Structure 1
């Protein structure tokens, strides 16, 4: 049989155009029923054009790697319409979807991201973190308490996640309790012994956590 790429003219596949479409699912909807009801809107050419958002058009000369920003927990459906300008016909590929998260992970799964306990816990931590950044040296004991909270809470959460089967909300509450105990212990050790070395060691470890986490989210973390 003749080769598919014997030429690049209008009588070859090189004339085809590929339109990439995007469709957002309703927020905080992770059920299979909702997914299937909306995926029908991205299955045929006319419904894709009516409901989807056209992101870009690719030709056979373009690189076919396309990247989009995604929000974890937000469902998105993608599909591609291929158009033949010679015959003026179109066809749709099979739609694909992503939530940018895993349903099976013990931590940071699709369900835990939208929980009220997650929002309250980490919003509180963020507010305390901003306070520490701007007023940490003025309120030294508060700074120590927060550093001890992060240090002990981090290790305790990893430990109970690995060795127990407790629910997410229970683990979050126990992590907060362990963090408070760790923070109070660091403040008490400073009040009783005045050890600068211990305090700087804990703060340095927290800085190391932040630095390594940042590196892991860069291309260097992929190697």
Structure 2
């Protein structure tokens, strides 16, 4: 009876829809016959039946892409370990030219795209030289992510009837950004369909630089939370090429959408609100309220430096713990910097902190624009020497015109603070201008990551807002400064001139003292 029940349950659970791919119309020279695809809603176990395979076929890849849950794909009805792979973007290679069955299993109903891509004998086999992935051939990519980077792992390609140690195949990697903060399945599957074949990958994808060694098949990308990236690999052997199974990452967990958008805790919501308020204030009134600006500049620098040190020295602290500690230390920094002005009262020295921060932001923008992906800047020494040179250049320029430099620095930093905080509420990626510089300091091997930031509609509009706010803030503060001393008088200056709080407004000589 137990055997009968087990036998019955096996077929009951195996019962599901059967999807047939008929390859009888395949023509090697016809690109439209090289790919077949179908959109389905998966339930229980789905059987994929590939039939009428022509003798001209060298091998084919069955791939399945699910949203949002993972699925399990196998060439065995018992889902044996070496014939099975689980994930959201998976595939298996088959060299069998007779009718072949594949099996897909999933726990929950999920939308899926099932694709069969067809290749000839001389084409490279994606993942054919597999050394560590669970299946014999690995045409798929394994994607994982941290808060800072997306890690895309793959295996080297091979050639049929050739040993792996003699293969010298060219491997090119591409990626494509999806619409930011849009988690509609149609955009997800649409992005994958644009990266299924070699021709489509070269047409739609952006080619990223590759390096030999450890990071060739363990590619790192800078993580942009909530922005989907489709990753693709093209293997080339002479004049023929093949494509790996495309993979997707949103740098967050789609089953928990709150991790993909906006500040998710009251702690971060409060920080973003404060950044917006003080950003607007400093942009338009920063120079007028000079002492408050000094405190905010010291606070910001102290917060950033402390957060970097904590990130480098401890992995046990959470983001909230590091942020709270950095805020407390930042307030001490701000108070110390205000005390320096109170003690010495040297405008060019006190304003130098604003110059430095604005120059740091300017250098970050220059590298964010794309030059950080140049091979020469993979070397940390080259990167930081160039970065420091840019900072020193802007520092020198603004120091020569102290008043104008300080007003521009206030407008620039205030506008960026406001825009970066708004990014967390309405979307956009300009906050990563500074975050990527932080990652270069604190994240191990980030020099090997592809930065290539997304620049979509929200980013374009917020870049315009940044320029407009900076320009108008500079104009408004310069206008308000006309006829006034460039910097507020220091208390020692008045004491040295014989002026104090008890000095009469009309002295013995009849001179009237002014506090302006």
Fold equivalence (TM over 0.5): yes
Q: Find the counterpart in structure 1 of residue 325 from structure 2.
A: 174
Higher strand share: 2
Cα distance in 1 between the residues matched to 2:333 and 2:229: 44
Q: Find the counterpart in structure 2 of residue 28 from structure 1.
A: none
Structure 2 residue runs without a partner (length 5+): 1-25, 38-66, 72-86, 89-109, 116-184, 207-222, 233-243, 254-258, 375-516
Superposed displacement of residue 133, structure 1: 0.9
The secondary structure found in structure 2 opposite 1:201 is helix
Cα distance in 2 between the residues matched to 1:151 and 1:79: 36
1:83-94 matched pairs, under 5 angstroms: 94=245
In the alignment, is the contact (CA less than 8 A) between 2:230 and 2:246 conserved in 1?
yes
Cα 1:222/1:60, change in 2 over 3 Å: closer
CA shift digits 1:42-71 (9 cap, x unpaired): 3336xxxxx52446868976633426xxx9
1:1-223 matched pairs, under 5 angstroms: 11-16=27-32, 35-36=69-70, 39=88, 40-44=110-114, 52-53=186-187, 54=190, 63-66=202-205, 72-74=224-226, 76=228, 94=245, 96-100=247-251, 114-116=263-265, 117-164=267-314, 165-223=316-374
Cα distance in 2 between the residues matched to 1:158 and 1:189: 24
Superposed displacement of residue 96, structure 1: 2.4
Q: What CA RMSD, in Å, does the superposition of the two structures yield over aligned residues?
A: 4.0
CA shift digits 1:153-205 (9 cap, x unpaired): 11111011111232211110011111111111111221222122321221111
The secondary structure found in structure 1 opposite 2:70 is helix
Cα distance in 1 between the residues matched to 2:261 and 2:328: 19
Cα distance in 1 between the residues matched to 2:229 and 2:250: 9
In the alignment, is the contact (CA less than 8 A) between 1:145 and 1:184 conserved in 2?
yes
Cα distance in 2 between the residues matched to 1:151 and 1:19: 56
Cα distance in 1 between the residues matched to 2:282 and 2:362: 17
Superposed displacement of residue 145, structure 1: 1.1
Aligned residues: 176
Cα distance in 1 between the residues matched to 2:368 and 2:36: 30
Cα distance in 1 between the residues matched to 2:371 and 2:252: 21
Structure 1 residue runs without a partner (length 5+): 1-9, 21-32, 46-50, 81-92, 103-109
Cα distance in 1 between the residues matched to 2:291 and 2:69: 50
The secondary structure found in structure 2 opposite 1:41 is strand
The secondary structure found in structure 2 opposite 1:44 is strand
Superposed displacement of residue 143, structure 1: 1.0
Q: Find the counterpart in structure 1 of residue 168 from structure 2.
A: none
Superposed displacement of residue 111, structure 1: 8.2
Cα distance in 1 between the residues matched to 2:194 and 2:36: 4
Cα distance in 1 between the residues matched to 2:322 and 2:271: 12
The secondary structure found in structure 2 opposite 1:166 is coil
TM-score under structure 1 normalisation? 0.62
Q: Find the counterpart in structure 2 of residue 105 from structure 1.
A: none
CA shift digits 1:67-113 (9 cap, x unpaired): 6xxx9332748699xxxxxxxxxxxx9562202469xxxxxxx7897
TM-score under structure 2 normalisation? 0.29
Cα distance in 2 between the residues matched to 1:182 and 1:136: 18
Cα distance in 1 between the residues matched to 2:36 and 2:372: 32
The secondary structure found in structure 2 opposite 1:216 is helix
Q: Find the counterpart in structure 1 of residue 388 from structure 2.
A: none
